[in-house]
Amino acid sequence: MLVQNCNVAADEFLMNIALEEAAKAALLRDVPVGAVVVYDGEVIGRGRNQREGLQSPIAHAEILALEAASSRLKSWRLEECTLYVTLEPCIMCVGAILQARIARLVFGCLDPKAGAVRSLYRLCEDSRLNHRLDVSYGILESECARVLAEFFSCLRERKRAVKRTERWPSPVEGA
């Protein structure tokens, strides 16, 4: 079920916490995606992308936030929880979200390359699956998109700088 607006002020407040997690990932040169799990108005799980730091293909922000929340509640069932994430979740993360029985998903910006909620797939709406959840998106969309755009712009610039310093001097430059 798609729900556009529940409590916009609360959603924006909690998405800002997810953005703080994304900023931590960026500082460690990982893709800046952040996530928080909320239960009864309290943040019980936080996560940020750590694929580079942990050298793990599954160290996505959503997975780590879900694991932290499950640990806190001592249950894999997160039926009364809401997950806030800065970027539309991928197939793997949506699978974990569905398995955890999350009640509501709120995400910031769409992911046209890997999004499995609205962009490429609509797994949260798939009637063949045994769990569906409420979805809200576009919360602080421009802020979430800007963090990613800035990160990838800096990454491309670093790669160009490395190429410039690694090249051989031309004969004109006195090689």
Active-site annotation, residues: 62
Contact indicator for 108, 87 with CB cutoff of 8 Å: yes
On whether the CB atoms of residues 62 and 69 are closer than 8 A, the answer is no
**CB-CB neighbours of 100 under 10 Å:** 24
Q: Edge-to-edge, what's the strand order for the sheet holding 81-87? A: 42-48, 34-39, 81-87, 104-109, 134-137
CB-CB contact of 105 with 4 (8 Å): no
Residue located via tokens 């410039």: 164
Helix axes 61-73, 91-99, angle to 10 degrees: 10
Distances from the Cα of 47 to the Cα of 34, 41, 86, 122, 143, angstroms: 6, 17, 11, 23, 18
